[in-house]
Structure 1
Amino acid sequence: MNFALVGGFVLVLGALLIAGLLWLASGGAWQTRQDIYLSIMEESVAGLNLNAPVKYMGVDVGKVQAIGLDAANPKRVRLLFAIDRGTPIRVDTVAVLKTQGLTGIAYVELDGGAASSAPLQAVAPERYPLIRSKPSLSARLENVLTTVLTKLDSTSSSLNALLSPQNQKAFSSTLADIALLTHTLAERRSTIDAGLNSAAKTFDNSAELTGQLKRQAGPLLARIDSAALAVERMGLETAQASSSAGRTVVDVGGDIKRFSAVALPELQQLMGEMAVLAASLRRLSEQAERNPGALILGQGAVPDGPGEALEATRKPRGERP
């Protein structure tokens, strides 16, 4: 029997077995390829460790590969996720830090990612695609509690100012005045009751008087209405008379205009002729006063003027002027 051959076969078989175990430990044919994604948290990641699970809607899809502070802003934490290839990481996917039960072990939950959204891609200057993050439940509770505590502190300060010694004295004085007023009202209860009864009777009398006034005012209101109607009719008649007078004035105005256009020129001409006749009569009366016989005998020959007689003597006898 060749022991060397058997020993060689055992060594080769052992090597193959070790290689197979190593291959199976690394995943072998079932090893899933993973993609690296980046997420930046603006809160404490206490309880989150390396290789902490990354879940998508509760399903394990990867692990936390690296945890570190942001060099540009120490208040932010940079997380690298190794997520199985094929996981639907889209532009609207968000990462939230959560804790598991009461143990306080933290993990990362991915949420969102509508089917119509585009796949998430790396954008410069980042090397890996950046998954947006939102505050965890504990961070939101902390913010709410901080706000509530701030408001409680402000309210407490306001109450302390309201309950200062000066205000306490004022409150005590007000309460004493109220007690005194209450005691006084209790002592005067009978008087107050009598006054209220009198006021009630007065109201009843006033109501009765108002009813009587309404009943008596009925006829008076009717007469006032009749008088108002009469005044209204008189106003209408006056308006009609004014309208008629206006039309009459318009008609008279038209007649005056026609008289001025037609008869007035003839009247002016007649007045001119009468003036000429009056002047002729005045000259005739003056001549009658100077020579009354002229009305019967007529006027004689007009005497020669100066020089006319001398010129007549120089002319020959047979000539007549």
Structure 2
Amino acid sequence: MENRSHALMAGFFTIALLVLAAVFALWLGKDKIKRTPYEIATKLSVAGLNMQAAVRYKGIRVGNVSNISFDPTTPGQILLHIEVMSDTPVTKSTYATLAYQGVTGIAFVQLDEDNIHADHAPLLASTQNDVIPRIPLRPGMMQNLEQRGVAILNQTEELTKRLNLLLDPNNRQSIATAVENIGKAAAAWQTVPEKLGPALDKLPALAEQTQSTLIAIKTLSGDASKLSNNINQFTVSMQAPDGPLARLNQSVEQISAGISQETLPKINAITNDARSSLRAINRTTDALNERPQSLLFGNAAPAPGPGEPGFVAPK
């Protein structure tokens, strides 16, 4: 009976010791630092990111990843729940990227500030429905390298296709023909300096002739300028108030006045006399036509009128 009591006491002591050890462990492991939850929504790959992964702000560890889950409202979108220390300066311009530790490939969340579109207002939860504030996730260095690597591979593949097309047997023959033609053109070009030699030898004489021509043109230009000045002076003298043109206009006006006042009346009088003479000639011509004998016997006496001797009344 005594052995059983000692065994029971030993069992109670062991259980109590285990309970105290668990409570002590929980007390030691209790995190007394106040943390603020944030949410990151992304459709990018989060390969290498695990639960309790570190969250760093500009390289300083400020928290960890508390949960990774799929967004039930948006297919293909991943939700990352992080908890960071409350004194971390998370603002509306803060963004997240995925970074990797050394060669281990373990990912962590890197927080940084957008200096281009800076907004230093703190990122807080909505006071109406207590929504967890969301931080945008941008492609990190590895994601950018992956995208650019894919683009480079696509360009390399396209370049390979074009090289294969260029090195096609038909194209190779065309390239060989083009190279041969270039060689012929280079050989022909070597003879050009020899043909240009005589022309280059004549260039000094041609330059002297050109200079002489320019001097002659300059002299001609001076003479033309003098001639133009003389023409301008002549034009001014001709158009002067007492110049030749003015005197010629006066003479023409005087001649016109003399013609209109003296000559035209005389011409009109001569015209009237000529008309009278023509009428007399017409009458004489008519009389001769009626009595041609009047040229020999003269004009007949006019018939006696009433009351004159020899008057005979008509019957």
* TM-score, normalised relative to structure 1: 0.58
Equivalent residue runs for 1:108-257 within 5 Å: 108-112=109-113, 116-122=120-126, 127-183=131-187, 189=191, 193=194, 195-214=195-214, 222-241=222-241, 245=246
Residues 1:92 and 2:93 are matched in the alignment: yes
Aligned partners of 1:42 and 1:135 also within 8 Å: no
State the 1:138 CA deviation.
0.9
- Where 2:145 maps in the other structure, the secondary structure is helix
Task: Summarize the Cα distance change of 1:154–1:67 in structure 2 as closer, same or farther, 3 Å threshold.
Answer: same
Deviation of the 1:170 alpha carbon: 2.5
Distance in 1 (alpha carbons) for counterparts of 2:107 and 2:150 = 23
Q: Is the 8 A contact 2:37 2:82 kept in 1?
A: yes
How far, CA to CA, are the matches of 2:94 and 2:208 in structure 1? 83
Letter paired with 1:206 = L
Task: Give the whole-Å Cα distance in 2 for the aligned partners of 1:185 and 1:88.
Answer: 73
Per-residue CA distance 1:260-292 (angstroms, 9 max, x = gap): xxxxxxxxxxxxxxxxxxxxxxxxxxxxxxxxx
1:96–1:136 Cα contact (<8 Å) kept: yes
Query: Once the 2 structures are TM-superposed, how far is the Cα of residue 38 of structure 1 from its aligned partner?
Result: 1.6
Distance 1:165 1:23, change over 3 A: same
Deviation at 1:50, TM superposition (A): 1.6
Aligned-residue offset at 1:81: 1.8
Partner of 1:299: none
Question: Contact (CA 8 Å) 1:123, 1:129: kept in 2 or not?
Answer: no
Matched-pair contact (CA < 8 Å) for 2:43–2:78: yes
State the shift of 1:176 in Å.
2.2
Secondary structure (helix, strand or coil) at the match of 2:104 reads: coil
RMSD: 4.2
What's the offset of the Cα at 1:73? 3.6
Structure 2 distance, partners of 1:179, 1:132, is 62
Which letter maps to 2:82? F
After superposition, the Cα gap between the structure-2 partners of 1:167 and 1:234, relative to the gap in structure 1 and judged at 3 Å, is: farther
Higher CA-based Rg: 1
**C-alpha displacement of 1:36:** 2.8
Aligned amino acid, residue 142 of structure 2: S
Alignment of 1:8-47 (within 5 A): 18-19=19-20, 22-23=23-24, 25-27=26-28, 31-47=32-48
- Gap change, CA 1:92 and 1:206, over 3 Å in 2: closer
Structure 2: runs of 5+ lacking an equivalent: 254-315
Is the 8 Å Cα contact of residues 239 and 246 (structure 2) preserved in structure 1? no
Identity across matched positions, percent: 24
Partner residue of 1:70?
71
Q: Partners of 2:129 and 2:242 in 1: how far apart?
A: 99
- Can you give the 5+ residue segments of structure 1 that lack an aligned partner in the other structure? 253-321
Q: Which residue of 1 aligns with 2:284?
A: none
For the structure 1 residues 127 and 207, does the alpha-carbon distance in structure 2 shift closer, same or farther, using more than 3 Å as the test?
Answer: closer
**Residue-pair matches, total:** 238
**Shift in CA distance, 33/118, structure 1 to aligned 2, threshold 3 Å:** closer
Letter in 2 for 1:235: T
Counterparts of 1:216 and 1:133, CA distance in 2: 81
> 1:219: how far off?
6.0
Task: Specify the code of the residue in structure 2 equivalent to 1:208.
Answer: E
User: Shift of residue 46 of structure 1?
Assistant: 1.9
Tell me which amino acid in the other structure corresponds to 2:88: T
Do the aligned residues in 2 keep the contact of 1:48 with 1:106 (CA within 8 Å)? yes
Matching residue's letter, 1:95: A
What TM-score, normalized to structure 2? 0.59
Structure 1 residues 169 and 238: CA distance shift in structure 2, 3 A: farther
Q: Relative to 1, partners in 2 of residues 1:204 and 1:98: Cα closer, same or farther, differing over 3 Å?
A: closer
